[in-house]
Amino acid sequence: MLINAAVLDPEAGELVEGQTVVVEGDRVAETGPTAAVSAGDAAVLDVRGMTVMPGLIDAHVHVTAATADLEALEGWSPSYVTARAAGILRGMLDRGFTTVRDVAGADFGIAAAVAEGLLAGPRVRFGGKALSQTGGHGDARRPGRVVLDQHPCCPTLTTIADGVAEVRKAAREQLRRGAHHVKVMLSGGVASPTDRIDSTQYSMEELRAVVEEARAANRYVTGHAYTAEAVNRGLEAGVGCIEHGNLMDASSIELFQRTGAYYVPTLATYAALAEEGLEHGLPAGQHRKVFDVLDAGLRALELAHQAGLPIVYGTDLLGGMHRRQLSELTLRAQVQPAGDVLRSATTVAARLLGLEGRVGVVAPGALADLLVVDGNPLDRLEVLTDPGRRLRLVMQAGRLHRNQLN
């Protein structure tokens, strides 16, 4: 039981003072004014002067991407990749992320290991391997390499599929393995060797086939895209969420509004790749592509914010750059008020993940994913970016991961 709490209501964008939060098992059992709630036999933690808030949600991660050299990653042992992923996952929970959406790489095994307590980390909503065309953003082969390892145990982030029949089968395979969404590459990207940022990828027939398969399984498709043309093709095909979108324009905004699709900017990764991508394995040719999209991200975010799109928190970090996961908060604060940034990492993200009311809120019946922060993040988001000093408690599904209150 947490007493004398200032509880963050992210949807309202306000703190509710003088509250008690009662946890039973993995759930929040009760919230209300401290004077009106009986402690009973529960252990009591007094958090006067601090903020109690829901655990954060990062909706664009790659927990198996322990290097920025994705071609090299393909040659690693799956057991070694899992060992490296364990450190990445623990770091995320240490920073206050209690739920993540992995959009290429993690599978049912990683998600189960976390759920069973074998690995410490945020719960993982996964999409399995993303779908890429030959030579697309998910094809990590350099020009001189011919052999393609498509074995399901190969620790790639993607699977290569061409043509309607192949993409249907690839989507069905990810869904068979428990994927919560299917990801497709709609355009070129930074961390791929042979495509251009401004390319479009997959035919409309292929894209519609993937969307049809996902909808048949009551799932959705999310798409990697940078340019307005790539974003728009995805939205027209029925993709329900767009990742990145740095180079989109007003025509894309109109389609977002018409379709109700979600938008996941990932500003943190471009700043990180520009500054230190080379030292973490990003090949020089791919590093040069960062600067094609680096400065455009804030402009795209501003367009989306002004239009009132449902914007979700995501970071897309690779290798040793995962430690910069909280930098997305302050990067977005250049455009968005703190309340909007916090909603993107709580209630809006929960809706995208199909977990509305279960995560992203401090309310009876919700999972007890709770943070205690020294300070008010609505006044200064920076209180969240210094977890070593400011993050006093991390609880996930009722289990204490960190307690520095005593």
pLDDT digits (tens, 9 = 90+) for 191-213: 898 899 999 999 999 999 999 99
Which residues lie closer than 8 Å to 377 by C-beta, 6 or more apart?
Answer: 8, 51, 53, 338, 342, 383, 384
Asked if the model's pLDDT at residue 40 lies above 80, the reply is no
* 102: confidence class by pLDDT, cuts 50, 70, 90: very high
Q: Are 110 and 137 in contact (CB under 8 A)?
A: no
Whether residue 79 is predicted with pLDDT greater than 70 in this model: the reply is yes
Are the CB atoms for 317 and 268 separated by under 8 Å?
Answer: yes
Average pLDDT over residues 321-325: 97
Of 316, 326, 274, 279, residue with least CA distance to 97: 326
Residue reference for tokens 């209690």: 98
pLDDT at 272 over 70: yes
pLDDT of residue 39: 65
pLDDT at 132 over 70: yes
Say whether pLDDT at 353 is over 90.
yes
**String of DSSP letters for 32-96:** EEGGGS--TTS--EE-TTSEEEEPEEEEEE-TT--SS-HHHHHTS-HHHHHHHHHHHHHHHHHTT
The predicted model gives 373-381 an average pLDDT of 96
Nearest to 288 by CA among 276, 274, 299, 268: 274
Identify the pLDDT of residue 406.
72
Helix axes 204-216 and 164-176, enclosed angle (nearest 10): 30
pTM exceeds cut of 0.85: yes
Which pLDDT score is estimated for 271?
94
Integer angstrom CA distances of residue 225 from 142, 258, 269, 280, 289: 21, 18, 15, 24, 14
Over residues 256-278, the mean pLDDT reads 96
Residue 219 and residue 241: Cα distance in Å, rounded? 12
Residue 356 has pLDDT above 90, yes or no: yes
Residue 382: pLDDT above 70?
Answer: yes
119 class by beta-carbon count within 10 Å (0-12 exposed, 13-18 middle, 19+ buried): buried
CA dist., res. 224 & res. 24, Å (int):
40
Which residues are bridge partners to 187 per DSSP?
A: 200
How confident is the prediction for the chain on average, in pLDDT?
95
- For strands 51-54 and 370-373, give the pairing: antiparallel
**Closest by CA position to 318, among listed 44, 141, 103, 117:** 103
Query: Residue 31 in contact with residue 52, Cβ under 8 Å?
Result: no
% of residues, the chain, pLDDT over 90: 90
